[in-house]
């Protein structure tokens, strides 16, 4: 039980080891493990009101207004009616409360949706459907194909041979390639026998809950025997079961203890930089308020001592006041109440409304709607809009964010001829688009209908029985670790460990070399309609050093052949000298493919002698069973046989980028936004994508690769990179070095440093771990922030968050993180702004994000249009709001010197109440919701307009001081002009109008018209709504004024409306209107003059861009043709194998084989048969 933060009763100890028993809830309950429900909501029905009010009164302004309300209830010092504070305060609390309630209701809904998912739980020997939230540690549950994994489970048994289970871990690490998990043999025997599963009483001891996705250690004790448990036997929450009919698992960690939830990071309350600045400014205003009240209180004490003391017959002191000093003390508090409008409570209501309105614009934006999966953009939080206009660093995931995670066989080079491009009649290469004619594969009944290829000459080569082309596709159909699945005849599905391999095998399938089935000893391929069974003799597996894989097969004719594929840099060293001329031609093609950002791969073969092979396979068997140095011995044997290879050609696979990614990155770079890619992928893959989406290019002075394996290595590599980019940064005179030498404990903010060129930086996860240590982190920040692009590869979810935190710590910049998987959640939560992409990888990222949409390309619109507009609108709003309230409030200050410092108000109390709530609220809201300096088209065409937001130029402390000075100047005009105009003045009929009420009415009318003209000057984009709000507010003011000062209102509410007849008496005089016009001119003309001269003599970069836009509008440019961004590169794009090392051994062992498909050896076709001839090309 918790009360005021104190815990009573049994205190839960920190878990050091987990112990549980299968099918024994009573045993497991004693440890009080978390159940499987998750909770992201903050309130419930009973706690909402107290907790929400407590949170709201932690806001300095709300607490201040509550304090004012208490002051107003004290009769001795109350100079204003209580309702002037209560009405606005209740309104603010209600608006914020409703908004918080709606946000929390949505969180409850989301939690409820996840917690109420159904799952089959084994209870008392029967499978019963339970909700996810009722699942407990120690339960045995059944999952079926395509089910989400409910909790972190120990795999017990499955429908697949040897209890293998295929899972997709996209939610955890962003990879959609299948991974294999295998149960212990002792539990695999349980199968789906419910009786045996119910009797299973194994005891598990394992590590306490943690966030390490790739590590698990524990033991299972069953019938007195101990069995080791590791990560290969675990199914983690967030994974999806694939290609497995059913599996049973034992719940080890549930709910908040699961690795997915442990990785989700801490939810922090995000506040914008403007919010933080406003808190500082509010404190400054409080200090100013206290100073003004002190001056007026001292003035009152002096006046009462010199004059008031002798004047008590006419103006007696209040009851209880017996000295001038005590009177001054009371007047201090009275003036605190009167002058409180320098910090109006309506400021906070208006800010919330503006943010809410700008959030709706994001939700309603049709240009950010993705029709393919019916996904609109969504502002999931309404408090961070203006921060979108100040982003300096973007941290992006790669897989599923920049790329679609779809691999396409795009081009190839066979025997020196390049295929894949399309040419017109004149021999000119044409751009491939949706209207380009595709190759018709209908002649092949086993072809994949989704496969698209456009170069018809490759099909012709296949049909003409071109030997190198046949050999090329035969290699692709044999040299891989793909598993086929054929539930219906002809309906082949490939389970690929790597999406690249799936693309290559699918290409071979469509061109007539259909990989159909495999056993541990054979591969069945349908070659041009004829079924052939190859004997699989060896798989020379891939690893990160070899960067290639080979298979050795015996054809039905008895020929022994080694087929090899791998990275070009590696395979070129292994080729036979006779391939030199072909190698040169293929190199040209590889350069061309790499220039388009394609992932390239070289393929080669070698015919083997029978005697040599028998000797080699014997030595291979000895090496593979050796107890010591097994890996080294095997590696030597692989090197020996993979020599003198004959080059066949090269393949080029496109890792499909999301639409518009290169253009978006180019546009964001022009807006001076730096992009860092944080990915779990390998270095080659990450750099590949870096080149293909224009992050990296050959125009860069250098791309530094940091891959040191010790702390010292990493430090040296970082320093060498910095020395090359900016040699001066090592001098003692460098400002950052000087700052460092000062022994201050103050946090160092690293200023932006300019490099002597354009650079990129690539750092591996292993090196990053050292770089994030205390003594190296500043070096990393300085070096990385000088680069235009940073790519971090092989990083863990936690490292992603640490990198974001590092930049937040050392740079005065606003950060944005964007991702689509559960592995991005901690990064999204850490950054100032988190954006989730609702794509292939579930909803974890979206649920944790502040904004979400379906495609990366929408990010430029979110920032350059919505973010920029929101920032400008908020800045204009704050400048105007502070100005109008200084002008309004300081009139009281000047009036104090003419009223004996008596805390007499200048204006009517009703005007004070309605000024911020009614008269001036709608015009400023109109401007803050509809204003735009340029429309969305120009915002995207001129990204440079975004830069002032990054530098926070539109609202800062200097701008605030200018607003304050303008407010002070206006208040002087608004007091002294009406005062002078009214002094000893007569009406046209000879009656005097120099009374307090006429002066008050004239001052408040001047004020309202001046602030209305000022908002007209501040408005850049006029709409009907703006016009209506401004003219409507003035009309409402005059209507209310004439009504309240009428005879009727005085007769009904005598005490509340004492200004009887003032309006019609005063506002009917020409000299009053002349004075009002003079006040307006004196307040507005200096502002207009200053703005004109500043734009002419000292224009800002934004002014220059706006001038360009103004000129461009006069002669609209023709719409620019859509161009495909291409890069020219001499760098070869390395092929990235992403399947697991050791998968070849798994295939050869046969442990993952199903019974042979009944369709594997049936069905033949020939492209030249009569049946298909008419469909030929």
* Among 994, 964, 965, 993, CA closest to 898: 994
Query: Do the Cβ atoms of 835 and 643 come closer than 8 Å?
Result: no
Active site residue 698: no
The pairs formed by 629-635 with CB atoms below 8 angstroms and a separation of 24 or more are 635/545, 635/546
Beta bridge partners of 408: 654
Q: Is 1078 exposed, middle or buried (0-12, 13-18, 19+ CB in 10 A)?
A: middle
Query: Do the Cβ atoms of 463 and 1167 come closer than 8 Å?
Result: yes
Q: How far apart are CA 47 and CA 39, in angstroms?
A: 15
Element (H, E) at 583: helix 580-595
Task: Report the DSSP pairing between strands 417-419 and 674-678.
Answer: unpaired
- Triad 392, 812, 929: Cα angle to 5°: 60
Task: Report the DSSP pairing between strands 378-379 and 391-396.
Answer: unpaired
DSSP state for residue 390 in the 8-state scheme? S
Q: How far apart are CA 1002 and CA 1013, in angstroms?
A: 17
Q: How far apart are CA 407 and CA 388, in angstroms?
A: 33
* Among 674, 714, 700, CA closest to 756: 700
Q: Alpha carbon of 874 to those of 115, 273, 374, 926, 933: distances in Å?
A: 39, 12, 31, 12, 13
Q: How far apart are CA 193 and CA 202, in angstroms?
A: 16
Per residue, what are the HEC states of 824-868? HHHHHHHCCEEEEECCCCCCHHHHHCCEEECCCCHHHHHHHHHHH
Beta bridge partners of 789: 675, 760
For the chain, how many residues are written? Answer: 1177
Q: Read off φ and ψ for residue 1059, nearest 5 degrees.
A: -80, 50
* Among 829, 691, 797, CA closest to 174: 797
Q: Could you identify the residue written with the tokens 């944790």?
A: 848
Residue 239: both structure tokens together:
């994974």
Give the side-chain half-sphere CA count within 13 A for 1059: 25
Over its C-alpha atoms, the chain yields an Rg (Å, rounded) of: 38
* Among 902, 901, 910, 895, CA closest to 81: 910
Which entry of 397, 568, 824, 850 is annotated as an active-site residue? 397
* Among 788, 794, 814, CA closest to 725: 788
Q: Is 461 exposed, middle or buried (0-12, 13-18, 19+ CB in 10 A)?
A: buried
Query: Do the Cβ atoms of 416 and 586 come closer than 8 Å?
Result: yes
Residue 317: both structure tokens together:
């002191």
Cβ partners under 8 Å of residue 825, min gap 6: 263, 264, 265, 797, 819, 844, 845, 848
Q: Catalytic residue positions? A: 397
């Amino acid at each position: 039980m918790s009360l005021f933060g104190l815990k009573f009763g049994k205190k839960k100890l920190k878990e050091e080891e987990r112990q549980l028993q299968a099918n024994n809830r009573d045993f497991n309950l004693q440890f009080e493990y978390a159940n499987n429900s998750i909770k992201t909501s903050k309130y419930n029905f009973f706690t909402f009101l107290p907790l929400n009010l407590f949170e709201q009164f932690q806001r300095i302004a709300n607490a201040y207004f509550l304090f004012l309300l208490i002051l107003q209830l004290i009769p001795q010092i109350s100079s204003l009616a209580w309702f002037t504070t209560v009405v606005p305060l209740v309104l603010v609390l209600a608006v914020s409360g409703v908004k918080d309630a709606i946000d929390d209701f949505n969180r409850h809904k989301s939690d409820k949706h996840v917690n109420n998912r159904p799952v089959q739980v084994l209870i008392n020997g029967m499978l019963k459907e339970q909700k996810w939230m009722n699942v407990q540690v120690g339960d045995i549950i059944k999952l079926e194909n395509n089910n989400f994994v409910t909790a972190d489970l120990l795999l017990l048994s499955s429908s697949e041979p040897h209890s293998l289970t295929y899972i997709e871990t996209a939610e955890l690490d962003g990879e959609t390639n299948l991974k294999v998990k295998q149960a212990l043999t002792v539990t695999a025997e349980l199968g789906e026998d419910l009786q045996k599963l119910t009797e299973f009483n194994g005891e598990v001891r394992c590590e306490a809950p943690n966030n390490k996705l790739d590590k698990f250690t524990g033991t299972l004790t069953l019938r007195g025997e101990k069995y080791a448990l590791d990560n290969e036997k675990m199914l983690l929450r967030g994974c999806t079961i694939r290609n497995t009919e059913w599996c049973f698992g034992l719940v080890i960690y549930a709910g908040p203890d699961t690795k997915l939830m442990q990785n989700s990071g801490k939810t922090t309350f995000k506040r914008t930089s403007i919010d933080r600045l406003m808190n500082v400014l509010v404190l400054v205003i409080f200090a100013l308020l206290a100073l003004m009240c002190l001056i007026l209180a001292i003035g009152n004490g002096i006046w009462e001592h010199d004059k008031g003391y002798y004047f008590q017959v006419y103006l007696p002191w209040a009851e209880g006041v017996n000295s001038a000093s005590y009177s001054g003390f009371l007047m201090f508090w009275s003036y605190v109440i009167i002058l409180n409008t320098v910090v109006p409570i309506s400021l906070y209501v208006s800010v919330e409304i503006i943010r809410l309105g700008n959030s709706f614009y994001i939700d309603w934006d049709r240009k950010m709607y993705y029709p393919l999966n019916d996904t609109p953009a969504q502002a999931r939080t309404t408090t961070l809009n203006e921060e979108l206009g100040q982003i300096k660093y973007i941290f992006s995931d790669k897989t599923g964010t920049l790329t679609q995670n779809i691999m396409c066989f795009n081009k190839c080079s066979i025997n020196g001829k390049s295929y894949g491009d399309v040419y017109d009649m004149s021999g000119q290469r044409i751009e491939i688009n949706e209207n380009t004619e595709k190759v018709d594969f209908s002649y092949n009944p086993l072809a994949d209908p989704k496969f698209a290829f456009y170069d018809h000459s490759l099909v012709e080569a296949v049909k003409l029985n071109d030997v190198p082309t046949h050999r090329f596709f035969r290699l692709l159909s044999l040299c891989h670790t793909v598993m086929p699945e054929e539930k219906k005849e002809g309906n082949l599905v490939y389970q690929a460990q790597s999406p690249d391999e799936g693309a290559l095998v699918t290409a071979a399938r469509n061109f007539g070399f259909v990989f159909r089935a495999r056993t541990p000893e054979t591969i069945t391929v349908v070659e041009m309609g004829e079924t052939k069974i190859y004997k699989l003799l060896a798989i020379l597996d891939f690893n990160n050093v070899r960067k290639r894989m080979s298979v050795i097969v015996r054809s039905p004719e008895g020929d022994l052949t080694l087929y090899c594929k791998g990275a070009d840099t590696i395979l070129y060293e292994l080729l036979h000298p006779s391939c030199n001329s072909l190698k040169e031609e293929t190199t040209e093609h590889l350069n061309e493919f790499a220039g388009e950002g394609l992932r390239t791969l070289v393929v080669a073969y070698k015919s083997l002698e029978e005697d040599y092979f028998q000797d080699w396979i014997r030595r291979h068997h000895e090496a593979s069973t050796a107890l010591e140095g097994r890996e080294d011995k095997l590696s030597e044997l692989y090197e020996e046989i993979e020599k003198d290879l004959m080059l066949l050609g090269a393949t080029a696979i496109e890792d499909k980028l999301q639409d518009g990614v290169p253009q978006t990155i180019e546009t964001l770079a022009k807006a001076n936004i730096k992009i860092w890619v944080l990915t779990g992928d390998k270095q080659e893959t990450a750099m590949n994508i870096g080149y293909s989406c224009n992050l990296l290019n050959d125009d860069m002075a250098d791309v530094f690769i940091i891959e040191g394996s010790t702390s010292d290595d990493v430090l040296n590599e970082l320093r060498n990179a910095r020395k090359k980019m900016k040699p001066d940064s090592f001098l003692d005179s460098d400002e950052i070095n000087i700052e460092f030498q000062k022994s201050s404990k103050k946090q160092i903010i690293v200023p932006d440093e300019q490099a002597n060129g354009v650079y990129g930086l690539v750092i591996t996860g292993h090196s990053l771990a050292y770089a994030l240590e205390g003594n190296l982190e500043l070096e990393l920040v300085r070096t990385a922030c000088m680069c235009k692009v940073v790519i971090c590869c092989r990083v863990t979810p936690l490292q992603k968050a640490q990198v974001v935190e590092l930049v937040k710590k050392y740079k005065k910049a606003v950060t944005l993180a964007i991702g689509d998987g559960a592995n991005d959640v901690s990064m999204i939560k850490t950054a100032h702004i988190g954006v989730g992409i609702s794509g292939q990888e579930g909803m974890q990222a979206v649920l944790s994000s502040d904004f979400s949409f379906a495609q990366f390309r929408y990010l430029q619109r979110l920032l350059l249009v919505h973010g920029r507009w929101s920032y400008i609108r908020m800045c204009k709003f704050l400048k105007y709001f502070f100005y109008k309230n200084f002008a309004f409030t300081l009139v009281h200050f000047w009036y104090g010197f003419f009223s004996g410092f008596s805390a007499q108000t200048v204006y009517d109390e009703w005007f004070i109440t309605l000024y911020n709530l009614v008269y001036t609220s709608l015009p400023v809201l109109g401007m803050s919701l509809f204003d735009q300096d340029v429309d969305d088209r120009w915002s995207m065409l001129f990204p440079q307009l975004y830069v002032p937001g990054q530098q926070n130029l539109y609202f800062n402390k200097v701008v605030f001081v200018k607003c304050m000075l303008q407010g002070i100047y206006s208040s002087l005009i608004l007091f002294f002009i009406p005062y002078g105009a009214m002094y000893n003045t007569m009406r046209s009929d000879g009656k005097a109008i120099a009374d307090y009420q006429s002066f008050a009415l004239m001052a408040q009318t001047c004020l309202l018209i001046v602030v209305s003209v000022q908002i007209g000057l501040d408005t850049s984009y006029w709409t009907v709504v703006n016009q209506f709000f401004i003219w409507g507010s003035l009309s409402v003011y005059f209507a209310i004024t004439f009504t309240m000062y009428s005879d009727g209102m005085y007769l009904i509410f005598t005490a509340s409306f004492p200004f009887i007849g003032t309006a019609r008496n005063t506002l009917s005089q020409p000299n009053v209107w002349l004075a009002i016009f003079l006040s307006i001119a004196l307040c507005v003309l200096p502002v207009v003059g200053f703005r004109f001269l500043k734009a002419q003599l000292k224009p800002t970069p934004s002014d220059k861009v706006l001038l360009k836009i103004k000129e461009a509008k006069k002669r609209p440019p023709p719409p620019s043709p859509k161009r495909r961004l291409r890069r020219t590169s001499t760098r070869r794009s390395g092929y990235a194998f992403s399947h697991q090392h050791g998968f070849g051994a798994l295939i050869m062992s046969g442990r993952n084989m199903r019974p042979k498909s009944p369709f594997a050896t049936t069905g033949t076709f020939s492209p030249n048969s009569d049946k298909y001839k008419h469909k030929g090309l």
